[in-house]
């Protein structure tokens, strides 16, 4: 019953990815993160509003959602529903689990399908799927961020390089196309950041906690 396995993989991985970590961490401190800073529930906005420890917790938790969706959800269900699956079928279970977790994070059902940008969750998926290309794009992210201090620009640059890095290390065309789709989704989710970068109003990241007055400034 492989079809049932695929369906359950997508459903469970989506629900795992949809856990709104940033929203919950901020809510535990009496703050609705959606009303402050950029309004995003991801680690970058949490870092700006609540400080470095909270931002790191959200970053790691969001990445863990993607990694667990592949290494636990997809692999366990593949073993249950298709124990004789070959490499291609196993890859598709992993891809379905990873993609569903990213979509869950980006479009969480718990917040009216408005979530984060999926960068940390995508990184968790890539740890499980294509670890070497992940190291390449991590290097790109670090270089761009160090030069510009823009998290959004660093993230989009890394996303753009991802399918080319996957191709460079000799992965199959299925993974190249999948990473290309993930990169396109990540860049699309940054459309507001692109507008702010073009207008010169995008905020550079700082590692100090934002003051309450700064945090409540309307997003440009």
Length of the chain: 220
pLDDT tens-digit profile, the chain (220 residues): 689 999 999 999 999 999 999 999 999 999 999 999 989 999 999 999 999 999 999 999 999 999 999 999 999 999 999 999 898 899 999 999 999 999 999 999 999 999 999 999 999 999 999 999 999 999 999 999 999 999 999 999 999 999 999 999 988 898 999 999 999 999 999 999 999 999 999 988 865 555 544 444 444 4
Say if residues 119 and 182 touch (Cβ distance below 8 Å).
no
Closest CA to 120 of 204, 182, 210, 171: 182
Most distant CA pair in the chain: distance in Å?
59
Rounded Cα distance between 90 and 105, Å, is 23
Extract the tokens encoding 150. 């823009």
For residue 70, give the DSSP letter. I
Extract the tokens encoding 29. 């401190």
List, in order, residues 6 or more apart from 145 with CB less than 8 Å away: 151, 153, 154, 205
Q: How far from the centroid of its chain's Cα atoms is residue 104's Cα? A: 10
Predicted local distance difference test score (pLDDT) of residue 208? 55
């Amino acid at each position: 019953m492989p079809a049932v396995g695929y369906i359950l993989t997508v459903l469970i991985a989506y629900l795992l990815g949809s856990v709104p970590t940033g929203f919950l961490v901020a809510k535990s401190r009496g703050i609705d993160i959606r009303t402050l800073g950029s309004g995003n529930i991801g680690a970058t906005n949490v870092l700006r509003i609540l400080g470095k420890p909270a931002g790191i917790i959200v970053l790691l938790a969001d990445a863990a959602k993607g990694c667990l969706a592949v290494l636990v959800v997809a692999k366990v269900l593949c073993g249950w529903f298709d124990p004789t699956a070959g490499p291609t079928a196993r890859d598709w279970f992993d891809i379905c689990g990873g993609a569903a977790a990213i979509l869950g994070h980006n479009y969480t059902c718990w917040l009216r399908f408005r979530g984060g940008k999926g960068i940390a969750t995508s990184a968790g998926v890539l740890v499980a799927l294509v670890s070497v290309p992940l190291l390449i794009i991590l290097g790109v992210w670090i270089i761009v961020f160090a030069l510009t201090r823009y998290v959004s620009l660093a993230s989009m640059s890394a996303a753009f390089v991802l399918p080319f890095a996957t191709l460079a290390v000799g992965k199959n065309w299925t993974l190249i196309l999948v990473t290309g789709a993930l990169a396109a989704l990540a860049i699309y989710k940054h459309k507001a950041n692109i507008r702010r970068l073009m207008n010169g109003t995008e905020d550079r990241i700082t590692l100090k906690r934002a003051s309450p007055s700064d945090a409540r400034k309307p997003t440009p």
